[in-house]
Structure 1
Amino acid sequence: MDQAVPSTTFVNDRNIKRQKLEETTNNNINRLLITHFEDLSNELIYQIFELLDSYDVYIIFSNLNLRIENLRTNSNLRINLDLSSISKSNFQHYYKEIIIPHQLRINSIRLTNLFIYNHPFSPLRRLTSLCQLEKLIIHNIQMHYLEELLISLRVLPKLYSLDIEPIDNITNPSHIYDRIFRLPVLKYCQISFKIKPNAILLLETTNEYSSIEHLIIRNDISFHHLDILLSFIPHLRYLSCLNIFRLKDNPTNIRPIILNKLSHILFQMRHTTFDQFKQWITNLSHRIEVLCISTKYDMKYLDANQWEQLIINHIPYLRIFDIQYTYTVHKDNQIMACNSAEIEQFNSSFWIERQWSFEHLHGWIKNWDNRIFYSTNPYRRKYFTLYGETGQLEKKIHLNTVLHVHIRSLQAIINCIYYFPRVTKITFEHIFDISPDSIATSLNCIIPLKQITKLVVNCHCFSFEQIIQILCLTSNLCIMILKSIYLSIPDYWSLQQNENFQKVSKTNQITNITIEEKCKLIDTRLLVALCPRLEHLTIHIPTDVFQLTIRFLLSKTNENIRRLFSLCLTHESKSLVETLKTFIESEKLLDNYFLEFFEDKLYLYW
């Protein structure tokens, strides 16, 4: 239920900062009739510095003039390091010019590049000097580095926010949790682990308890393991579990867990019955005020009377009840459909008095009726799925909390009764044959496409021409994930000469692309020509064109790939490491690079 989790996406932050920067600068320039940046006041320049990435400030303003240079170097403004998208050579420069001179001003660090953790210039090697560090986001880190890191973090006196997502599997999560819980001032913790199914969780018995108040668990976790963790977090106020389940052979906790400060619970549950959830929450001593649940399978979640009794007897302080229950019914199996009388029970006086309202919608995809029962008035989630519901309204209903829209049919776009003013991510599935001109126009009627930063196309029938139509209206798109590249008319030359292709190539801001299925060399060339600002590419290269594709992507003369510095090659074997290394060196494609293999992926960074 990622829609209910506070966002940590730096892409969105950058767009917000860009908008604030434009507004601040324009307002002040218009008011003061200033025509040169150097004429701005110190206060306004500091505001601009705060809204920009620290490396951008260095690149743009370094050595501009003595006054600006003094403001930049002698400032007490906090520095937020985002090292998620930086080349190897630029990182070394960044380290010398930003990290070393200003380490006492570093307030937050975001690392997602697996090669930086073991880099000689990694900021994590200077943790003891980062005494002002408050926020740390660590993704794609190897477990042996993470274990060392968590020990080092204990010396940081102000670290209150931690976000961890390792790249490899965890065989023994106990000591990882134990080290996290020992961080002295940690308040916010978000974790996403790849834990093996047979992992055992046994934390050390101690009188010490964690200071964590806000916990988000994005990986699979059973109720049994969750109970163990909660027994060490007595100050918890907010709990979110995005993949919670109940194992049949797990023992049920017989001792009540006392969490008197816990007020918010957000659960996405799978293979968990209503009775199992009821048993868990009745065993919890709490003061829950907000309960958000996403689930499926067990129709008992649609029993209003059961919910009414549970809330009255065990969740008496509840102010917000937010449920989303999804299920599918085959056209030949209508006996499994939800009884409308059961849904009507949610219109009783109990629900009306609390102003809790619900909707029950459905949409057909081939032979399946996709149904969803969810809370409204208002709709609070950051995620919304369009199945194909229809409606005729003079004015669309605005869903202001939604940041990610998942679209599962063309009809869902055409007949949508909603408008999503704050959406930044779109995911497509089950999109069938439509004309290239219609989808972008229809989509722009329900979503302001200009603000989209991430696009996911998880279907085969979505043609490349349709992608281009959407890109014409998504000028701020940064990340694009495609199932495959499909051309309705395989005329590559005429497509590249197309007016829309040329427009997108000149204006788009896409830096990160993933192609999940095999990508032919000619398709790779087309993609690179369309997105010349590309920095990171994840791709499955066919064996017969492997060397040709690598030679093309590492070419030093192709202007379209001059910004590319990172490759992830999927569906590969470990034996390819030496083969690729030999090929790169024999062809003299790169002078200074890192090469790593994890699971079935080969990572190249230069």
Structure 2
Amino acid sequence: MNKDKQKLNYNESLEKRNRIDHSLSSIENLPNELFNEIFDYLGAYHMHQTFSNLNYRFQRLINSSSLLFKITFRRSTPVQMIRVNNNQILSIHFLSSKHTKMISLFNFDSSFNRLESLIFHSIKPDVLISLLSKLIHLPRLFSLTINIDNISADLTDIYRLIFDLPKLKYIRFFAMEPEVSVSLPLCIHKQINNIKYLIINHSITLNNLFSILSYTTQIEHLSFTHKRSSTFNVGSMSPIILPNLTYLAIYETDLKFDVFEIFITKIHSKLRVLSLESQAEDMNYLNADRWKKFILKYLSQLEKFYFTCEFREHRHRNKRHMSTSNSFNSSFWIERQWIFETEIHLDIFIYSIHPYKKRWFEYDSQYTMINSSKFMQIILTITCYTDEWYYLRRILTAGEVYHLKINDEIFSTELIRMLNLLPYLDSLQLSSLRLSNLTNMINEERKILPMVTCQNQITKVYLRQMNQIEDIYFLVDQCPRMTYLKVDFSNHMDIEVNIPKILMKINTKYNHHIRLLCFRVVVADEKLVENLKRMIHFEKFFSNYKIKRVFDNIYIEWK
């Protein structure tokens, strides 16, 4: 009886397994929803190549009105048309000039009633003009991206036709050639277009921009590249009301601050985000008090502020343009959490303002922003530092720098000289450190070395590339107030060999303050964490500590 029962159970199990195997081996048992995802991943061309001739089920599925296609013509895509129903096309992207002739063959009419997005790359202006007149019949064309060939062109007719598209909400216009022009007259009638996003990736004068804005008064998001060396005829420009404009980005402008202020006052809006990239080398852009007054009066609803400007030091030798940087640490800037940064690249000084963002030493996901000037003060980044200390000395001694980032490898003697000029420094980030031979130090460096060690206030150090364990020893010795040390490693072996040495150095150093270590390695995993736990336990480095892995970072914290 037991044998019969076992045989019955075996047969049932075998039958069940066969049913499962058959179910898994039959592609037709997969649901339509899964095939829709597969079709979307493959794209229209490869989907047709693979599934169109299989059977009746796939023919019905492919022709279903619920299935929408995103068609992309790349350079490698065959020139022949992809046979799909017009009412199934959601978007068409022409990413190669190779398909210019094909574009002309498209008869865009109301049958494309689901088409929402068009992208034309390297299209000729005459082809685009003939095409735009057809697009007016598309009932759901919301997005249009245009990249015209790099030739001189008058874009007036193109813009006029774009503004006639009643459903368009998003327009992005690329034209790399600097000699493009736009000469639209001001719109004197109420415009019926629905454009919300206007991204002008070609140079344009402010006067021509005002003409374009007169056709797009419902705009919410505007970015444009200002045409350099162009004049702004202030007298001819009447104020324009843009009640929905909340985002404005201006790139490569050489406008003086005075003219920029006038431009902003001419567009009546409620900006929440302002991004400005200035190449004017106008010292007024570094006047924190002037920015404060202007923002409070004309941009009172501003939430995010991004600003960048460049100065070449040899043009401003008599101007201490860093001396005003401390003004960016007033309560006005701290309350808004807008950070002032300086980057030095040889003799080029890049100044920027941006919203606060989490830094490398804020490792805890529960960390909350501290309303403290030490967190909000100046950040200095140095790339390709020069041996001519004229530039560095002026900027380092002009402001209270709290955070220093050096992107190039630096000799330890040069680092000591920098730290001597930065008594308020709280965090230090180094790309790589090259230890100098102490016997070769000049008298000046010998004198300042113990002074720097004794007086510096650095509490956080990050070394992105360790050349030798002595690099860490040097930093621990020179930063006696350090509480947090972070080091990048290339592999497990480096970590397991060097961490015991680092911990030994810390434990043998008298009155050290380090309580948190972070080791970053791309291949970090839980096995490495367990190995470190065993090592710490065996060596008895700590009795009360925590160790955890957050992505590629391993943290060791103790009391």
* TM-score, scaled relative to structure 1: 0.53
Q: Counterparts of 2:271 and 2:407 in 1: how far apart (Å)?
A: 34
Tell me how far 1:206 sits from its aligned partner.
Answer: 4.8
Kept in 1: contact 2:205–2:231 (CA 8 A): no
Q: Which of these residues, 268, 288, 297, is aligned with residue 285 of structure 1? A: 268
Q: Which of these residues, 281, 301, 304, is aligned with residue 317 of structure 1? A: 301
Matches within 5 A, 1:360-509: 360-364=342-346, 368-378=347-357, 388=383, 414-415=431-432
Tell me how far 1:325 sits from its aligned partner.
Answer: 2.1
Q: What does the per-residue CA deviation read over 1:492-521, in whole Å, with 9 as the maximum and x for residues that have no partner? A: xxxxxxxxxxxxxxxxxxxxxxxxxxxxxx
Tell me how far 1:85 sits from its aligned partner.
Answer: 2.6
Kept in 2: contact 1:224–1:252 (CA 8 A): no
Q: Which residue of structure 1 lines up, in the alignment, with residue 398 of structure 2?
A: none
Q: Which residue of structure 2 lines up, in the alignment, with residue 592 of structure 1?
A: none
Q: What does the per-residue CA deviation read over 1:301-341, in whole Å, with 9 as the maximum and x for residues that have no partner? A: 111111111101111111111112233335xx772665333
Q: Counterparts of 1:246 and 1:418 in 2: how far apart (Å)?
A: 43
Q: Which residue of structure 1 lines up, in the alignment, with residue 147 of structure 2?
A: 165
Matched residue of 2:97: which SS? Answer: coil
- Root-mean-square deviation (CA, aligned residues, Å) is 3.7
Q: Which of these residues, 54, 63, 66, is aligned with residue 53 of structure 2? A: 63
Q: What does the per-residue CA deviation read over 1:343-380, in whole Å, with 9 as the maximum and x for residues that have no partner? A: 1111101111222222222233xxx3443433241289
Q: Which residue of structure 2 lines up, in the alignment, with residue 350 of structure 1?
A: 332
Matched residue of 1:239: which SS? Answer: strand
Matched residue of 2:300: which SS? Answer: coil
Q: Which of these residues, 66, 70, 77, is aligned with residue 76 of structure 1? A: 66
Distance 1:128 1:167, change over 3 A: farther
Q: Which residue of structure 1 lines up, in the alignment, with residue 312 of structure 2?
A: 328
User: Does 2:76 correspond to 1:86?
Assistant: yes
Kindly name which structure, 1 or 2, has the bigger radius of gyration based on alpha carbons: 2
- Aligned-residue identity in percent: 28
Q: Which residue of structure 2 lines up, in the alignment, with residue 180 of structure 1?
A: 162
Kept in 1: contact 2:181–2:204 (CA 8 A): no
Q: Counterparts of 2:287 and 2:249 in 1: how far apart (Å)?
A: 20
User: Does 2:300 correspond to 1:305?
Assistant: no
Q: What does the per-residue CA deviation read over 1:261-316, in whole Å, with 9 as the maximum and x for residues that have no partner? A: 11110111332111111110011111111111111322221111111111011111
Where structure 2 has 5 or more consecutive residues not aligned to the other structure, the ranges are: 1-21, 360-380, 386-405, 411-428, 434-461, 465-487, 492-521, 523-559
Kept in 1: contact 2:277–2:309 (CA 8 A): yes
Q: Counterparts of 1:409 and 1:252 in 2: how far apart (Å)?
A: 49
Tell me how far 1:128 sits from its aligned partner.
Answer: 4.6
| Paired amino acid for 2:45 | Y
User: Does 2:240 correspond to 1:261?
Assistant: no
Matched residue of 1:361: which SS? Answer: strand
Matched residue of 2:317: which SS? Answer: helix
Q: Counterparts of 2:463 and 2:234 in 1: how far apart (Å)?
A: 44
Higher RCO by CA contacts (8 Å cutoff, separation 6 or greater): 1
* TM-score, scaled relative to structure 2: 0.57
Q: Give the length in aligned residue pairs.
A: 360
Q: Which residue of structure 2 lines up, in the alignment, with residue 109 of structure 1?
A: 92
Matched residue of 1:169: which SS? Answer: coil
| Paired amino acid for 1:343 | S
Kept in 1: contact 2:221–2:247 (CA 8 A): yes
Q: Which of these residues, 42, 56, 64, is aligned with residue 52 of structure 1? A: 42
Q: What does the per-residue CA deviation read over 1:115-164, in whole Å, with 9 as the maximum and x for residues that have no partner? A: 42323x85633445322211111121111111111111111111111111
Q: Which residue of structure 1 lines up, in the alignment, with residue 458 of structure 2?
A: none
Kept in 2: contact 1:189–1:216 (CA 8 A): yes
Q: Counterparts of 1:139 and 1:273 in 2: how far apart (Å)?
A: 34
Q: Which residue of structure 2 lines up, in the alignment, with residue 214 of structure 1?
A: 197
Q: Counterparts of 1:334 and 1:135 in 2: how far apart (Å)?
A: 49
Q: Counterparts of 2:407 and 2:104 in 1: how far apart (Å)?
A: 42
Q: Which residue of structure 2 lines up, in the alignment, with residue 247 of structure 1?
A: 230
Kept in 2: contact 1:236–1:261 (CA 8 A): yes
Where structure 1 has 5 or more consecutive residues not aligned to the other structure, the ranges are: 1-31, 381-385, 391-406, 420-441, 446-472, 474-606
Distance 1:179 1:324, change over 3 A: same
Kept in 2: contact 1:245–1:269 (CA 8 A): yes
Q: Counterparts of 1:303 and 1:409 in 2: how far apart (Å)?
A: 30
Q: Which residue of structure 1 lines up, in the alignment, with residue 255 of structure 2?
A: 272
